[in-house]
């Protein structure tokens, strides 16, 4: 084992933090549009429904900027309620992610333990480059990673094999020497398997049990990854 790559949202940062972030983005959009009379939680749910439907369509497809997809999603909701999305929507989005993003409590210790084992530690994420860089810097973990590979770099969304191939190439390791850790079996485990990488699913409450078969390992805490890696290294 020479490298471990991580997904970002739902794996290094919590989905709960992401939800709070998105609620606050919608809240700020409504404030700027002068529509604080509207229920931001209800509009957030509609925004989530729009964007997750759009991202479902994009899985495995050629990359288009996430800022454009997200902007389109909020625009659809705004149209429904007759207000205009502020020009600086993406800037609002990035600043709010920086403010409310929440690391899993054992993320940093896990990354450091893997680095102490002499491994290359990287990220492979469906993300725009400006978003991931700003977000990692705000969380204070940007410098911990040896490589960061986005779908913007690779030109495709997971589970397409390109993001995984590019990450392996950057790390200079074979697929059989690398492990991918994610929270989405269909994107993370399936994508890793396509290139011959083993995968670990982070499934804290066991809610994804039906899809465990796509993954080589399942953990409920990030720090368990260290034991798996040590086992694979024969330590």
Interface with Ca ion (CB under 5 A): 7, 9-10, 183-184
**From the CB of 224, what's the least distance to Ca ion, in Å?**
17
**From the CB of 125, what's the least distance to Ca ion, in Å?**
8
Helix (H, G, I), strand (E, B) or coil at 80: helix
**From the CB of 62, what's the least distance to Ca ion, in Å?**
20
- The two tokens of residue 6 are 């991580």
Q: How far is CA 78 from the centre of its chain?
A: 26
Residues 6+ apart with CB under 8 A from 136: 123, 142, 145, 148
Q: Which is nearer to Ca ion, 40 or 145 (CB)?
A: 145
- The two tokens of residue 174 are 């074979």
**From the CB of 5, what's the least distance to Ca ion, in Å?**
12
Residues 6+ apart with CB under 8 A from 212: 185, 201, 203, 218
Q: Which is nearer to Ca ion, 10 or 159 (CB)?
A: 10
**From the CB of 199, what's the least distance to Ca ion, in Å?**
12
Q: Which is nearer to Ca ion, 15 or 99 (CB)?
A: 15
3 phi/psi in degrees, rounded to 5: -145, 145
Q: Which is nearer to Ca ion, 183 or 203 (CB)?
A: 183
| DSSP code, position 146 | S
Q: Which is nearer to Ca ion, 22 or 27 (CB)?
A: 22
- The two tokens of residue 169 are 């190439």
Taking the C-alpha atoms of residue 201 and residue 4, their distance in angstroms, rounded to an integer, is 13
State which residue has the least CB distance to Ca ion: 10
**From the CB of 10, what's the least distance to Ca ion, in Å?**
4
What is the pairing mode between strands 147-150 and 120-125?
Answer: parallel
Q: Which is nearer to Ca ion, 23 or 184 (CB)?
A: 184
């Amino acid at each position: 084992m020479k490298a471990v790559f991580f997904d970002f949202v739902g794996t290094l940062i919590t989905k709960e933090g992401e939800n709070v972030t998105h609620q606050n983005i919608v809240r700020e959009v409504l404030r700027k549009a002068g529509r604080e009379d509207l229920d931001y939680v209800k509009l957030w749910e509609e925004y989530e429904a729009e964007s997750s439907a759009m991202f479902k369509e994009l899985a495995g497809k050629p990359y288009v900027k996430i800022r454009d997809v997200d902007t389109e999603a909020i625009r659809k909701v705004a149209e429904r309620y007759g207000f205009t999305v502020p020009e600086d929507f993406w800037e609002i989005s990035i600043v709010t992610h920086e403010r409310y993003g929440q690391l899993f409590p054992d993320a940093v210790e896990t990354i450091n333990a893997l680095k102490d084992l002499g491994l290359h530690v990287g990220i492979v994420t469906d993300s725009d480059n400006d978003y991931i860089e700003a977000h990692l810097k705000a969380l204070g973990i940007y410098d911990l990673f040896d490589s960061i590979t986005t779908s913007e770099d690779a030109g495709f969304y997971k589970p397409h094999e390109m993001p995984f191939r590019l990450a392996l190439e950057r790390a200079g390791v074979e697929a059989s020497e690398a492990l991918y850790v994610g929270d989405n079996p269909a994107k993370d485990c399936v994508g890793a398997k396509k290139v011959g990488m083993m995968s670990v699913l982070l499934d804290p409450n066991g809610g994804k049990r039906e899809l465990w078969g796509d993954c080589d390992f399942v953990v409920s805490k990030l720090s368990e990854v260290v034991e798996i890696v040590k086992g694979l290294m024969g330590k």
